[in-house]
Amino acid sequence: MKILGIDTSSKFLCLGVYDQGRVYEYNLEVGRKLSSLLVKTIKRVLEILGWEAGDIDYFACGLGPGSFTGMRIGLATIKALAWSLNKSVVGISTLDILARNAKVNQGCVTTVVDAKRSLIYCCNYEVKNKRIKRKSPYMLLNEKELLAKIKKNSVILGDALVLYKDNILKETTGAAILDKDYWYPKAHNLIALALEKIREKKLNNAFEIKPIYLYPKECQIKSV
């Protein structure tokens, strides 16, 4: 089985491939150059692996929440590939991908991503015996609301820590803040989650899959 997955919801292009038990990943900071680099990078990775696009059995894509433009570029690319090749797509929340960076055996994890406009994308998770489970909806909150949602002794990660780290430490008992190496999605976690969904047959076709938007409808346009 071969899988190609991407997440483009942050300043990084997170690209992973799975090939018969082996995982390869490529995490590149692209900033605002995503649109010019994404297809070129996918093509380069396939050439290195000696794959044709038709060799891929499943496509996976991070659905956000995150960069509005980045999500749309990434999802449009994956939808085009999946539709043209008649392959299934696995959609995964970017917050779920990010939460796996915590790598804890037990306890609570909170992901916090800067949503701009003094708002934060966040979600709470619980880890038992190294298995992580989402315990809240995907949320768009202001700082006060966020502080009320974080449980004591939580592990917290995400780029919103640039703005809110000090107050989180002040207001949350026992908070453990991970450093910036853990603040962005990693491709191996994307692939791991994609494999779980494929085994559970939680698949979509190219026309069904949609990004996760948390901003009110007046801040959105129709999804791709």
Q: What is the residue-averaged pLDDT of the chain?
A: 94
Domain extent listing, the chain = 2-94+184-219, 95-182
CATH 3.40.50.300: does it fit domain 2-94+184-219? no
Task: Specify the pLDDT at position 130.
Answer: 85
- For the stretch 92-130, pLDDT in tens is 999 999 999 998 999 999 999 999 999 999 999 999 988
Q: Is there a common fold for 2-94+184-219 and 95-182? A: yes
**pLDDT(162) > 70:** yes
Task: Specify the pLDDT at position 224.
Answer: 45
CB 122 within 8 A of CB 128: no
Q: Does the predicted model carry a pTM greater than 0.75?
A: yes
Report the pLDDT averaged over residues 197-207: 94
Strand partners, 63: none
- Out of 3.30.420.40, 3.40.50.300, 3.10.20.590, 3.65.10.10, the CATH code matching 95-182 is 3.30.420.40
Task: Specify the pLDDT at position 219.
Answer: 58
- For the stretch 35-48, pLDDT in tens is 999 999 999 999 99
Cis peptide, bond prior to residue 65, ω within 30 of zero: yes
Percent of the chain exceeding pLDDT 70 equals: 96
Query: Residues 136, 120, 39, 81: is their CA dihedral positive or negative?
Result: positive
